Amino acid sequence: MLLNGVRNAAIATARDVGVKEMERGMPVSLRASLQLVSDPKNLDETVEEVFKMMLGIDCRRDSGPVDLEPESVTAVVGFGGLLSGACLFKSGSSTAIKIAAAMTGMEFAEVDDTVKDGIGEMGNMLAGAWKSKVPNLAANCGLSIPAVITGRDYNLHVQAPEFKLVHAYRFDGGSFEVTIICDGLQ
């Protein structure tokens, strides 16, 4: 339900801007660039770039699972246009607090609205930077406003996506997971 909501918002954004580009020129297709769009290196570069530039934090891809915490925070940003799907950022609450602290220079005792706002913005930057790695994707795929979910024991399930990247990352002080789900590609 939530994913449908963010996807619809992203499709509306794509209609506003990106689709105009498609209408003007040759028909644009991402199908032929599936390998480039789903290249795992793009996601790793995106995460390292966003963390380094916005937080001054070095973070690296990690083979292990993310640190288990009772509560987690997930930002969801929908893609709409030539690619539909979502970018998800998920971490435990203590990692979310550390990231929000690095973003704002403030201290937080719990996952409050500012922490949620920061994690949503992190999801937004990751989604935007990831799609900018592929020129046709940057121009013809809109982003939704981020939605943030907090709680315990929840999972996200998408039936038969075109492709799905799930990468874990670690920095000094925490770990998190970034997922790209593509459930439609034109």
Partner 1 sequence: MSEIRTLIVDDSSVMRKIVERSLRQAGLDSMVVYEACSGTEGLDLLKAKQVDLILSDINMPSMDGLEFLRQLRAQNLAPGVPVVMITTESSEEHVKQAILAGAQGYIRKPFTAEQVKERVLPLLQPA
- Say whether residue 21 binds partner 1 (CB under 8 A): yes
31-70: contacts with partner 1 (CB under 8 A): 49-50, 53-54
Of 118, 169, 171, 176, which one interacts with partner 1 (CB under 8 A)? 118
Q: How far apart are CA 92 and CA 50, in angstroms?
A: 19
Smallest gap, in angstroms, from Cβ of residue 103 to partner 1? 5
Residue nearer to partner 1 on the CB measure, 41 or 152: 41
Nearest to 91 by CA among 180, 176, 179, 171: 176
- Say whether residue 121 binds partner 1 (CB under 8 A): yes
- Say whether residue 184 binds partner 1 (CB under 8 A): no
- Judged on CB neighbours under 10 Å (0-12, 13-18, 19+), 178 is buried
And the tokens for 27?
């028909």
Q: How far apart are CA 66 and CA 57, in angstroms?
A: 17
Q: Which stretch binds partner 1 (CB under 8 A): 18-26, 27-35, 36-44, 88-96?
A: 18-26
135-174: contacts with partner 1 (CB under 8 A): 135, 138-140, 143, 145
